[in-house]
Structure 1
Amino acid sequence: MSTRILEDIFQLTCDPTNVPQGFHLVPLGNDNGQQTLTIDDIDSAILYQLTENESLTEPFNYLNNCFQRCQKHKRLNKNKKELESLFKEVDRLVIGYGLVMFQIEEFAMNGDVTAYIALILQRFDGYVDFMSQIIQRAIIEESLEDLLNNFFPCLLAYIKRPKYLFDLNDSVCYNHTLSIFELFVNFKQVAAIFTKIPGFLPEGDIDANQFENQTLLGPILKLSPLDINVATKNYGDLLDRSPSQTNMIDESLQTEHKVVIDRLFFICDKIIRGSVESRTDLIVYWGRIVNKNHLRRGDHAAQNKLASNAFMSNITVLLVKFSQPFLDVSYKKIDKIDVNFFNTLNLFIDLSNETRLNSDFKEADQFYDDHRNDVKPNFISDCFFLTLTYLHYGIGGTLLYEEKLSPQIKRLEEEIEKLKGASQSNPMMANFIGMKLKQMQKTLGYIKSSKDAMRGFFSHRQLQLEVFDFICGASTFLLRVIDPAHQFPFSHITLPLIPDQVGVENVDNAEYLRQHAPVPFKYYPEFVVEGPINYALYMSHYSNSPIIRNHRLHSFVELGTAILRCPELVSNPHLKGKLVQMFSAGAMPFTDGSSGFMMGIFEDNPIVNQNLLYALLDFYVIVEKTGSSSQFYDKFNSRYSISIILEEIYNRIPLYKKQLLSQALNNPDFFIRFVARMLNDLTFLLDEGLSNLAEVHNIDSQLNDPNSINRSENTEDSEEDLHRRFADAQRQAKSSCGLAAKSMTLFEMFTKDIPKSFVTPEIVDRLASMLNYNLESLVGPKCGELKVKDPEQYSFDPKELLKALCSVYINLANEDDFVKAVARDTRSFNVDFIKKAIDILGRKTGLVSEDYCKELFVFAGRAEKTRSAEEEEDMEYEDAPDEFLDPLMYTIMKDPVTLPRSHVNIDRSTIKAHLLSDSTDPFNRSPLRLEEVIANDELKQKIEAWKASKKADKNASEI
């Protein structure tokens, strides 16, 4: 019976007269004419098969089949004790020779490790048991390293073959490849030394884009729908697909990617847990990759010279998964993350060129040199900070790349349309143009596929939830670093860190703020904050964003509030600008009118509701200076976002309205500074917006009148030039009118509830002039120039704007100083304009009530009466000496002061208004604070005496 079993297991016979089909005849080499196979012959029989039988073309497959048949006979004869030794010997020899074949490639005839691997990849399920036994034998015989060193480099070489695309398109190959990795690392002894296999870490210094091709884990770590070959195959063939088809593709790839990520995490987790060395090596590997790829966040990065989005995003997601256990909602392990991590012997993250949160390179380097900690960081700290790094350069680089695709697509589509037109007008160039068109259309399909794949990736809510949960946990940790005691969230953090004693002139003093910034937070690389903010802002545009309906969102909002409330934390105003843009997305109501997804946090979270309003008002002022060449325009976007938030919290949350009224009453200097900035912006934006609308109107008229266009290509008014100017005017009008409309809304709200703050001497004249000038633009003789086609596209509603302007007049109508300021504006004030506005709003459009019209009419009468009185007074004082006149306003000074360095006399209200926007002497640009000006009582007495004498003379003449 044993002979029959052995012959069946090995498919061998010693009887040359009876060779069954599929069997091999094996000569035993003895002289006694033996024709049966015994247990003693197995070794020599196998050796013959592997080394001498030329007809055995797949020796490893043969051994695997022998192993499988042996297992089958074991099951069939499991109760026969007499056969146990036979099966044990068969297993010993078959498994042993299987191991030898990976250790000594030339051992077997037709031996080829790559061929063995190809077989395993094709039929993994049929080889898994045999390979498991081979690995166990290698562990027992202490030859595991030889097995790994021969097996995995060959596996890598196989899947890297030319013209062989290893990606999600080949499900059999990639699935079996992952299964091989899983099989090996499931043995702890393998995982412990896995990182020592040649090719795990690259040899020498390689380029950023080579890690995914030249390292052992590289090919499997880039298995993603973001791989361009996967994107092109799945999305490229159906560029005109329906939304339902797109959703089906998205869901299919998302499901597949989720499985891949889980399997990759299993592999990496086994390596992490294998040994201290394997854990360190894997962190080093990921660190080297991200250090080489900092340019992924560059504006003009050469994508083909950097690691792929698929590769970097996968690693980011894996690191997020590793970070989850110590950032769960209990925060029981948050104290394991070292707040002084960057002071330690950090070997993994290159900070040499990293901008710091609020310190320069020299100061940061000196701090690290003075406080260097020789204790090596723990894995939790390494993993956490490496994840933050990848959030910025990994997935953060991917979302930046996606944002650049839309302009590329638009430009390509425009060029394709131009080429199609050129082809029709120039038949002689048709062939050349056709070839170029074909290439451009191929490129367009390629880019559109990439964009579709990225949209599918970022709309995968389950996967992105994990990323944002990490961000929420990281936000809590960063607040812990900011907390002077480093005890948050287990103890309360009190904001602001610096008491609100910083004056108007110091609030944006970079040096002052840097000196008072918390340590070590000020020395942290900027990306620890920038990465989370960039991600959250980008993801807020997705309808199924992980940010919406997320119970941990409060952590992110708390950190954002702290950064805005404490200007010493982050010196980069652009980051704060992105933060308020993110908050504005969370404040905006949903399409059904319900409150924005952050409004509940704005209302209920104590850290937020106690600090957000002041933070927004403060940043509204500070953002005047961004430090960039475009700072004049940068501020408008940030202030637009702040205006959205202020409008929503003021109208929907009573607490914030109460806080705003309190600020205006109890902190007038602070609030007036905010109002002054609002007024500056609104004045500029309305002027810019209405001027550009007039430009749109005039150019559109020319374009629609062929006789008005000089078609000479060499003149400024050529048709092409007109189209260019028309597009520029449209773009600028849309931007300015949209921003102005939101600012006007705030003015309308605040002047109604806090009128006193808008009639201070440093504000009131400028406000009145702005209102009068824009009223003239809307209803005056040139108002027809504002008529444009489709005004909604410019966010321009002239009737609503007119109503808002007139509402401000009414809101301040009971303030005598405002009425006088309106009347004093001799350049633009005209009572007829107010009357015309009443006619438009009341009789023609019915936008306002009869009472509204009456209030406005009464105000117009008061202003006109005041104007007449002001004119009489001006005539009385028209011969005033020059020394009595304000050098900027050319009006008689009421409270003259002398500037300390230029020694110029100026009215206190004038210099106070100037310092709200510019903390310098307007006559020599030297630094100036309001406390430094010197009251000129002597000049004040002279002016009052002169005015008294003029009145006395007038009274005498009347008698």
Structure 2
Amino acid sequence: MSGWVSAWLQNKGEGDHESKSESDASRGSTTALGAEGAAPVSADEIRRKRLERLQEQQHVTPPCISSNENTTKKTQDTDMSVSANQTTALTPPAIKAETSDTVSSAMPATCKRSIENPDVNITGLKCNVCISDCGAANAVDRQRARRLRKAASADEIRRKRLERLQEQQHVTPPCISSNENTTKKTQDTDMSVSANQTTALTPPAIKAETSDTVSSVRKKGTSPDVYVNNVLQRVLRVTLSSARSSSDLLLLEVYMATNEAQPNELLSPANVSEVLYARVIRNPADLPGGSQHPLAAVAYLEQVFYRCRDEMQKLQSSFVRLPAEIKEQTLECLQSIRDMCVNYSATALTDPEIFPFEAGTINVDALEKTVRTQANAETPDFIDGVVAQLEASNATLAVFAPIFQKLLSELFLIAPPSLMSNFYSNMYTLTVLCRNKALALVFTQIPGFLLTPGLPMTGRRLQDATALGLLLRFSCNQDPAVTQMFTNITKRTKNDVDSSILTIRNKLDSVQTSVTDVVTLLLKAGALSRERVLTWLEQAMQANAERAKENPDVNITATNGMFVNLTMVLLKLCGPFMAPKSKKVQFIKTEFLATQNPLFPADETRLVGSGSPDADMAEDDRQVMNASDFHFVTRCYFITVRAMHLGPVGMVGQYMRLLRQLSYFQSRMGDQNADPRLRAHFDQMATTKMIMDAELLHPEFLHEMIRFSLLTCAVVNSICTGLDMYDERPMLDLPLPTPDTDANVVLKHIPEHLVDDLCTTLKFVARIEPKALNTFELEELLRMIIIFLSSPAYVHSPHLRAKMSEVLFHIFLPSDESDERETAGTAFGTELLMTDVLAQRHLAPCLLALYGDVEHTGFYEKLEHRYNIACLLKYMWKLNGHKPAFLLIAKDKDNFMKFAHGLMNHINSLVTDALVALPEIKMLQEEMNDTTRWMSLDETVREQKQSLLSDKERTVTSSLQLANETIHMMSYLTSEIQEPFVEMPELEDRLVSMLNSVIVKLAGPRGVELKVNNPEQYKFRPKVMLKEIVETLLHFAHYPSFLEAVATNGFYDGRVFRKCAQIVARTQLLDPSDIQKFETFVEDIGRAAEGAAIREEALGDIPEEFLDPLVCTLMKDPVLLPSGYTMDRSCISQHLLNDQSDPFTRVPLTASQLQPNTDLKIKIEQWILEQQQSADS
């Protein structure tokens, strides 16, 4: 159990003991004792006795029934203002209409007139209803009174009709007596019994008519003082008249005894304050049973407060006919009662000794129950009033902190924190309380709101021991109820699974919405509350720094579900400034990154390379500032940046690894001899995937993450360019100048994961839920990618630049442009790629340069990156707006050489790997087709060979898939770009070697070994590959140096070239004109090869000093290395493209350090000339 929960339980026990002790001392002799020296009656004992009295009352005659003559006489003299509802309840259905009419006629005209015209002074006349003197009445009044005395009384009529009803129903109505004295007593009873009781007992046949009639009696026959008395009785549930005492109305004997000198049985504004106080200090043990008389003063006052509201609404209606002055006084009286309820409640909570009979924490418990009862619409107003009083005495924290802690402790005790548990009521109660700013501040000040300094600051402790952590921890993680929803996942229907996912998402919505409401209210409660919330959020990021690792320790970090909830809350808080071109985005001050803040560690990898490998690990040189100096928008934005990195982005990696594992197990389960345990493990992983789908792929969550990622693009662009976000911007001059981290301090401290996370998020959405991107504008994303690809100095990581090419591939490339992989291909993205001016100018050269840079990302990674780039370039080559940019790169010799060299190296390695593996696949297939031989092998050997075949097939498929795209790219690029290849000997030789090598492999003597079963399965298309290689050769056929290079290349074989020409002609791979050109080209190469052979023979033995030390060929342009060695320029240039170091000493080496060896070159040229002259002679 967390520390603050234990503290709450301990404090509660101590508080109960102290409260009970104080109560015992104050109650003194008034406390009911079971025996001499017995302990005071506790609150529980009071409640128990009350329950016993309630049970006894269920087995006795209702209090309104009596056959005693004296009781009848007493009832006769009682006021007849019984409320309409109670009358209706007691009237049998068969006689309701008639009774109503009779009662109405029984009212003397004198009384009616006196009500209708209160200014008339009528005295001296006695009537059997009002029992008043009406001395100034006229003869008509006296005659009417005599007729009324002679007429049958209303009670006699009622008695006879009730007897008839008894005969019909064979039961006796609960409030009717056959005793004549009872009838006499009932005759003069007040007819204003409360409406609710009347309605409850009235038979349905005559309910409406009776209700209307009695209502009219009340309006016409009740004096203003009596009406006010009735109103106050309903509000306070007390009476000063012993005749009116009932289970609903409590008779205040104490007040009546203290006011014997001025007896008054009517409640009025003059005595209501004394009456309310007398009721509040009443001993709870003496209260009759029933919910109308709660034990705790606070509970009673809250109900009075609520009833005042109802009565004030009735008084303000046009149906109540009271003099304006009296109505105004009554409204003021009711408002005064409301104020007294609030004042007394605050007093009862802070100074309970004033109420001597309140036991223990009964009032605090009653207040807790009140705030939990959300059905009472008046509760927020009542609580607000009490809080305002408590604020005046600085007691709000002392009263409400225990309530907050109890609500949180109940959430803490829910283990595991299941989404299916009953947590919502407590969360909603917290939300209602936090709507009051004073209470919101109290919530942030309770023990356990922030992590206690000194103890280990871990994510799991923050989740389980802080207030907001307890609210956020309800998720799918380790929830047996959620796991049960996906049992036997492989046997469930899609609709069933979708329904379970929808159920989980609805539960997550309720958690995230509730916590968002609470956090929003806390932030709006004032500067102190807002600062404590932001401090907690920063602690959450610090305590979960472990989650930034690839394999974090899950025992000390918060769960994935908690971080999903927290990130969603933060994204909703960022909503107002994530809107496109929102003005609030101007409050994001990126200078925050250049200050020492708790969000981003000093050793975090930075986006812009510093030139020194150890510079990023140096001492923290950020400016020292308080985080509170920054605007809320700034702090909220960067907290969300960190939360995205620690939460969803890490989960994306877990999700993609899970997909790969599922794919692997699924392929293994297809084998006949598959281990049965694979099925169980597969089901378990599939369940995990479904749960992650419910959390991570929630449509609203994806939508908010996309919005935030695009906002981050705008922030990063603003930092790099120095321009304001979303303002009208001039056309950028790319590449950007070399980053000046002294002038732009923020640029130096941008964490690399800021850009990496947005690329990861957008790529993930494009791959898993591409439709989620359809409604977004992507200008800022494309702009950021172009800026970084064109200015590599701003992103020192080739992995991150390569990831940007993946984003381009998945979001901007039309889906029909990739034969092997599906892309999102959003309408906005493809249109933007076609028309954006910045993209037309710079994107193609950037991708061509990146094609060479990804060489440093790793073997398997570069295959995927280059495939993506090849598909993008192929699509852009077709766009007229982009083609000029392809031609511009040919003018940049250094970059073009890097690109071309990478391209040719890639083709060589891919084709070599694939075509070497194909014969091995063929051998394995033939061995497996020989059933007799295959079954004779040991089972372990067969499994090994099957596994080897699967590995070879995967390798060949991926290699050939990329080789096809790469060879195609070489074909269409060289159709218009040829000069750079032939102007640089190192490129020309490299290109010739690559082309000759592929032709020999495809059409050479070992080509027959490449025939495998179902070659299309491995993306092996030899005819297409041969066609594009031949097209590339023809692009250079008119260059003599190229012909010479082909003829003298070590891979050249005249027979293979002639066979290749026959294959092209027989299969019609090219147009007839191109076929003719290729045949001519083959003949020209043959003649050039013969001439080269003659010249080489004429040279004879070549002096060793003229040979390149690496390849042992005659040097044409010797250069001197810093180490003193001499090499041919073309040879060392090719080496430096792969490895920038001296091949002999491994010392770093660049092309600029090469010095021409002019003297040796002259000697070589003279020697060649002498040899040729000697051969001619």
Q: Bin the TM-score by the shorter chain.
A: 0.7 to 0.9
Cα distance 1:62–1:304, how it changes in 2: closer, same or farther (>3 A)? farther
Aligned to 2:889: 663
2:1127 is paired with a residue whose SS is strand
- 1:587–1:648: 8 Å Cα contact kept in structure 2? no
- 2:1098–2:1171: 8 Å Cα contact kept in structure 1? yes
Quote the offset at 1:555 in angstroms: 0.6
Aligned: 1:900 with 2:1122: yes
**How far apart in 2 are the matches of 1:516 and 1:638?**
34
Aligned to 1:641: 868
Identical pairs, percent: 22
Cα distance 1:573–1:936, how it changes in 2: closer, same or farther (>3 A)? closer
Aligned to 2:692: 451
Quote the offset at 1:412 in angstroms: 6.7
2:434 alignment partner AA:
V
- 2:811–2:829: 8 Å Cα contact kept in structure 1? yes
**How far apart in 2 are the matches of 1:757 and 1:392?**
44
1:773 alignment partner AA:
S
Aligned to 2:957: 734
Deviations 1:575-597 (A, max 9, x none): 22211111121342234998875
What does residue range 13-162 of structure 1 map to in structure 2 within 5 Å? 28=254, 39=272, 40-48=274-282, 65-78=303-316, 80-84=327-331, 86-88=333-335, 90-92=337-339, 94-95=341-342, 107-108=358-359, 111=362, 121=372, 124=374, 126-142=375-391, 143-162=395-414
Cα distance 1:491–1:588, how it changes in 2: closer, same or farther (>3 A)? closer
**How far apart in 1 are the matches of 2:645 and 2:1070?**
51
Quote the offset at 1:925 in angstroms: 2.0
Aligned: 1:945 with 2:945: no
Cα distance 1:102–1:561, how it changes in 2: closer, same or farther (>3 A)? farther
Quote the offset at 1:795 in angstroms: 3.0
- 2:594–2:623: 8 Å Cα contact kept in structure 1? yes
Aligned to 2:527: 276
What does residue range 360-509 of structure 1 map to in structure 2 within 5 Å? 363=615, 369=621, 371-373=623-625, 376-409=629-662, 443-444=684-685, 446-454=687-695, 456-457=697-698, 460=699, 462-483=700-721, 489=727, 491-492=729-730, 494-496=732-734
2:1042 is paired with a residue whose SS is helix
Aligned to 1:746: 969
**How far apart in 2 are the matches of 1:809 and 1:860?**
10
- 2:564–2:695: 8 Å Cα contact kept in structure 1? no
Cα distance 1:682–1:489, how it changes in 2: closer, same or farther (>3 A)? farther
**How far apart in 2 are the matches of 1:595 and 1:852?**
39
Quote the offset at 1:687 in angstroms: 0.7
Deviations 1:329-361 (A, max 9, x none): 436444433232133353x41414422223479
**How far apart in 2 are the matches of 1:947 and 1:364?**
56
Aligned to 2:746: 520
**How far apart in 2 are the matches of 1:674 and 1:383?**
43
Aligned: 1:702 with 2:927: yes
Aligned to 2:941: 718
**How far apart in 1 are the matches of 2:336 and 2:809?**
74
Cα distance 1:24–1:874, how it changes in 2: closer, same or farther (>3 A)? farther
**How far apart in 1 are the matches of 2:1122 and 2:617?**
40
TM, length-normalised to structure 2: 0.70
Quote the offset at 1:111 in angstroms: 3.6
**How far apart in 1 are the matches of 2:276 and 2:257?**
17
Aligned to 2:1038: 814
- 1:409–1:444: 8 Å Cα contact kept in structure 2? yes
Aligned: 1:919 with 2:1124: no
- 1:703–1:722: 8 Å Cα contact kept in structure 2? no
Q: Which has the larger radius of gyration?
A: 2
Quote the offset at 1:200 in angstroms: 2.0
Quote the offset at 1:564 in angstroms: 1.7
Aligned to 1:428: none
- 1:103–1:150: 8 Å Cα contact kept in structure 2? no
Aligned: 1:210 with 2:210: no
Quote the offset at 1:732 in angstroms: 1.8
Deviations 1:642-675 (A, max 9, x none): 22222221222x23221221221x2223212210
Aligned: 1:761 with 2:1011: no
What does residue range 258-269 of structure 1 map to in structure 2 within 5 Å? 261=512, 264-269=515-520
Aligned to 1:616: 847
Quote the offset at 1:287 in angstroms: 1.0
Cα distance 1:544–1:62, how it changes in 2: closer, same or farther (>3 A)? farther
- 2:596–2:623: 8 Å Cα contact kept in structure 1? no
Aligned to 2:1084: 862
Cα distance 1:601–1:519, how it changes in 2: closer, same or farther (>3 A)? farther
Deviations 1:222-248 (A, max 9, x none): 566789567546655866555555556
Cα distance 1:607–1:42, how it changes in 2: closer, same or farther (>3 A)? same
Deviations 1:862-912 (A, max 9, x none): 2222222222222222322222222233322222223231x2332222222
Cα distance 1:352–1:397, how it changes in 2: closer, same or farther (>3 A)? same
**How far apart in 1 are the matches of 2:1082 and 2:953?**
35
2:690 alignment partner AA:
S
2:950 alignment partner AA:
A
Deviations 1:134-185 (A, max 9, x none): 2322223313323331221111112232457563x45x751x4443233223
Unaligned runs of 5+ in 1: 424-432, 501-512
- 1:554–1:601: 8 Å Cα contact kept in structure 2? yes
What does residue range 752-791 of structure 1 map to in structure 2 within 5 Å? 752-759=975-982, 760-791=984-1015
Quote the offset at 1:838 in angstroms: 4.5
Aligned to 2:447: 198
**How far apart in 2 are the matches of 1:940 and 1:118?**
100
Quote the offset at 1:441 in angstroms: 7.4
**How far apart in 1 are the matches of 2:1077 and 2:826?**
34
**How far apart in 1 are the matches of 2:310 and 2:963?**
82
- 1:10–1:66: 8 Å Cα contact kept in structure 2? yes
1:568 is paired with a residue whose SS is helix
Cα distance 1:247–1:928, how it changes in 2: closer, same or farther (>3 A)? same
Aligned: 1:675 with 2:900: yes
Quote the offset at 1:683 in angstroms: 0.8
**How far apart in 2 are the matches of 1:61 and 1:788?**
87
- 1:293–1:393: 8 Å Cα contact kept in structure 2? yes
Query: Which piece of structure 1 moves more, 297-306 or 233-242?
Result: 233-242
Cα distance 1:550–1:302, how it changes in 2: closer, same or farther (>3 A)? same
Cα distance 1:378–1:719, how it changes in 2: closer, same or farther (>3 A)? same
Query: Which piece of structure 1 moves more, 815-824 or 593-602?
Result: 593-602
**How far apart in 2 are the matches of 1:365 and 1:406?**
35
Aligned: 1:536 with 2:762: yes
**How far apart in 2 are the matches of 1:147 and 1:414?**
63
Query: Which piece of structure 1 moves more, 376-385 or 777-786?
Result: 777-786
Aligned to 2:1020: 796
Quote the offset at 1:747 in angstroms: 0.5
Cα distance 1:657–1:19, how it changes in 2: closer, same or farther (>3 A)? same
Name the count of aligned residue pairs.
911
Aligned: 1:688 with 2:918: no
**How far apart in 1 are the matches of 2:522 and 2:826?**
47
Aligned to 1:188: 437
- 2:561–2:695: 8 Å Cα contact kept in structure 1? no
